Structure 1
Amino acid sequence: MSNVTINTAGAEQVASTSDRRARITGVILLLLSALVLFALDVAPGEVATFRLTTVRDAVQLPDLVVPGGFNTIVAALLAFIGVRQFLRGGGKWSTLSIGGGLFLVVLAFLVWADAGKSFNLTGMLQATMVRAVPIALGGLAGVLSERVAVVNIAIEGMLLAGAFTGALVGSLIGSWVGLFAAVAIGGMFGMMLAALVVTFRMDQIIAGVVINLFVLGLTSYVTSQVFASNRWMNNAEVFRAWKIPLLSDIPVLGPVLFQQNIFVYGALILVGVATYYLFHTKGGLRARAVGEHPRAADTLGVDVYWTRYFHVTLAGMVAGFGGAWFTLGSVGRFDENMTNGKGFIGLAAMIFGRWHPVGALSAALIFGFADSLQQKLALLNTPIPSEFLAMAPYIATIIVVAGLIGKARPPAADGQPYVKE
């Protein structure tokens, strides 16, 4: 009898939580509807023109012309979904409602910003993919580390070390050697982090901060004392975009995915390989077991220490590759603290993506989209400062971390040291 009572109480609590989340979702959607209707209103007769191709593309597509009335339709749709969520509840559809609502708001914002003007939508999407690369690789490094229960705050330092090494070695020997050197130095710092937190059981947050500060101080010193007077040591050749035959001629999708440099292709391949490895191989199952219940994994014969060493080192190599993007994939030179917090944003993307490689990539694309849209807003002379738009992905991340779009649950043993008995 008592078990039935407990189960009933638990079911009622879950239902209450779901209803409360649905009502909050409904209110948010209604507020977004009002925002679109009053703040993003487009004058009657105005249209937004989005160019999908350039004169150099093999296949030409007509421009996408969106009438201003589109925003009114979006506002009405948001209001309808919001009222439905508030009155009837959404259950598992609450997450999809918020995600779809935000997507519609972004579309309405683009129509509002481009009303009476024209810009190349494909070019912005291509820039989105490029700018998402370091964040996606930083998020992937976090996934590989935290899936074996090691919190990797040092991703920022690993990115910075990869950028510095790529520029230095790339300038002295060549870009390809610089790329491999960046991967190697990232792996070295990954192994250092593993030694500190696995062998010496140092606090994982403090260990990551120490590595970040060490790399920042060392690279800043060399930049000001060595690179300033020896510019030839900081002038590497940048990897150019490589068009994949036939696929690059596909309208819209071709320039976005198949006219990129090695870092974009590498990021997509690494995300795919990591997803398959973690969820479809024996090694990935052992790694996830170590992250969820290391004691049980050890009992079944899994070497917890070696598994954590291997995956944290691998995460460092991924971060080193992502760091090389800043120099060898972008400007060809190293500037002080040029990663500018992208490693921490990668951690946010990891949480946004719920510790899944594909989820981290998806979250990184949101950050990359906001980053590329800032430049377009400057060209379109919109009345909203671009700095405000840059806040949107961070607000969305806070919402996800707060649990409004479903609770993001890390691996059960995340951040906990393991002592073998």
Structure 2
Amino acid sequence: MTIEEIETYCLQLFNSTLRISIPLLFAALGGFFSERSGVINIALEGLMLVGAFASAAIAYFTHSPWLGALGGALIASFFALFYGVFVIYFRANQIVAGVALNMLAFGLIPLIAKVLFDVTGSSPGLSIEDRFQIMPVVLIILLIVFIHFWFQKSSFGLWAKFAGEHPMALHSAGISVFRVRLFSVWLSGILAGLGGMSLSIFLSSAYSRNMTAGRGFMALAALVFGKWKPLPTVFACLLFGFVDALQIQLQGIVLWGAEPVPVQLIQILPYVITILVLSGFVGNARPPSALGLPFTKS
């Protein structure tokens, strides 16, 4: 390869890494708010699916990607509130409730797609005017900076930390642990919805069945990789995005003059990395002390 070809390849890989990382970044930052406040959010996958479908459908009917993004985020946040009420106020098992919400999204979206578009697996394609070209990239950069400083410097950031680490101390200070956790889960729904939006009206031109392809779970893995801290979580998402972009570039590669490496073998790279992270390959990652524990006042 010439130097020019190497430069072109590296630029393409960088561009692909950045674009592919956008949905993961939105979802992981959403999971960050929820889990730092003490609520496990296995439902990120389902919330991303809801956001992806709602954004594509609204953008199709209104011909506005802005309304699509807003609608997708709000509808996903409604599902997040539904989940939050059950696990925070009714103390439902957070893992079971999260899995149930994922299953609800998997089953409900094809039904609504059938009613709206007379198909069960996708939404109609969007024109280039009805899609975003650069906005999600700008938005996620602004959000990363804002969330980093807001969580460190604001009263809410302090409350969320105590809700996840020492909820009884927060309650003793007169702050409602329930409300802090519910607001955090609501924020996670908005951000996960934006992650879904970036899949359907930024990286793609329509919603397709199960288009998240496990990205919600990869976002949770990035959160573990980043040890529940915003900036390390961002770097973890970029790492996963890089591996995903790399597997796309490597498809069809031939090693040592042999047959091309099977595409399926290369496509599993992002999931192998995710499994390694979740199995503790990155070392000891201590979650918030009260993560997954329902709060009781007594």
Is 1:369 paired with 2:205? no
1:130 aligns with 2:3: no
- Per-residue Cα deviation, 1:152-181 (whole angstroms, up to 9, x for no partner): 011111100001111111111122111110
Match of 1:195 among 60, 85, 92: 85
- Tell me which of 251, 261, 282 is aligned to 1:378: 251
Alpha-carbon offset, residue 392 of structure 1 = 4.2
Q: Provide the rounded CA distance (Å) in 1 between the counterparts of 2:78 and 2:281.
A: 38
Partner in structure 2 of residue 321 of structure 1 = 194
Structure 2 counterpart of 1:266, which letter? L
Report the CA distance between 1:264 and its aligned residue.
1.7
Alpha-carbon offset, residue 280 of structure 1: 2.4
Which of these residues, 229, 239, 244, is aligned with residue 131 of structure 2?
239
Q: What's the CA shift for 1:381?
A: 4.2
Q: Distance in 1 between matches of 2:112 and 2:291?
A: 35
Other-structure match for 1:414? 291
**SS, match of residue 334 in structure 1:** coil
- Cα distance change, pair 346–233 in 1 and its aligned pair in 2 (3 A): closer
Match of 1:267 in 2: 140
Q: Structure 2 vs 1, CA of residues 161 and 123 (structure 1 numbering), >3 Å: closer, same or farther? A: same
In the TM superposition, 1:16-415 aligns within 5 A as 48-49=1-2, 51=4, 120-173=9-62, 174-224=64-114, 226-228=116-118, 234-237=124-127, 238-241=130-133, 261-378=134-251, 380-382=253-255, 383-415=260-292
Q: Deviations over 1:269-301 (max 9, x none)?
A: 222221112222222111101100101111122
Structure 2 CA distance for aligned equivalents of residues 347 and 287 of structure 1: 18
State the superposition RMSD in angstroms: 2.4
Which has the higher relative contact order, 1 or 2, with Cα contacts under 8 A spaced 6 or more apart? 2
TM-score in terms of structure 2 length: 0.89
Larger Rg belongs to? 1
Alpha-carbon spacing, 1:411–1:157, altered in 2? closer, same or farther (3 Å): same
Give the match's secondary structure for 1:120: helix
Inter-CA distance 389–49: structure 2 relative to 1 (3 Å threshold): farther
Counterpart amino acid of 2:27?
A: G
Amino acid corresponding to residue 23 of structure 2 in structure 1? P
- Tell whether the 8 Å contact from 1:279 to 1:285 is kept in structure 2 after alignment: yes
Structure 2 contact 221–277 (Cα < 8 Å) conserved: no
How far residue 379 of structure 1 moved from its aligned partner, in angstroms, is 5.6
After superposition, the Cα gap between the structure-2 partners of 1:400 and 1:212, relative to the gap in structure 1 and judged at 3 Å, is closer
Over 3 Å counting, the alpha-carbon distance change for 1:221 and 1:144 in structure 2 is same
Gaps of 5+ in 1: 1-47, 53-62, 65-118, 242-260
1:171–1:232 Cα contact (<8 Å) kept: no
Q: Which amino acid is the alignment partner of residue 149 of structure 1?
A: G
Q: 1:131-165, CA deviations, whole angstroms, 9 ceiling, x for partnerless residues?
A: 11111211111111000000001111110000111
Amino acid at match of 1:415: G
| Alignment check: 8 A CA contact 1:289 1:297 kept | yes
Q: Deviations over 1:33-76 (max 9, x none)?
A: xxxxxxxxxxxxxxx54548xxxxxxxxxx66xxxxxxxxxxxx
- Give a deviation string over 1:359-401, Cα, whole Å, max 9, x none: 2221111221122122222365454334434444444444444
Which amino acid in the other structure matches residue 293 of structure 2? Q
Gap change, CA 1:229 and 1:196, over 3 Å in 2 = closer
1:385 aligned partner, one-letter code: P
Q: CA deviation at 1:411?
A: 0.2
Contact 1:138–1:346 under 8 Å retained in 2: yes
Structure 1 residue 230: Cα displacement: 11
Q: Which runs of 5+ in 2 are unaligned?
A: none
The alpha-carbon deviation at position 404 of structure 1 amounts to 4.6
Deviation at 1:353, TM superposition (A): 1.1
Q: Distance in 1 between matches of 2:172 and 2:124?
A: 51
| Aligned residue type for 1:207 | A
Do 2:113 and 2:122's aligned partners in 1 also have CA atoms closer than 8 Å? no
Q: Deviations over 1:63-118 (max 9, x none)?
A: 66xxxxxxxxxxxxxxxxxxxxxxxxxxxxxxxxxxxxxxxxxxxxxxxxxxxxxx
Residues 401, 337 of structure 1: CA spacing in aligned structure 2 closer, same or farther, 3 A cutoff?
A: closer
Residues 46 and 101 in structure 2, CA contact (< 8 A), matched pair in contact too: yes
The sequence identity of aligned pairs, in percent, is 33
Q: What amino acid is the match of 1:138?
A: A
Letter in 1 for 2:84: A
Instruction: Determine the C-alpha separation between the residues in 2 that align with 1:399 and 1:213.
Output: 25
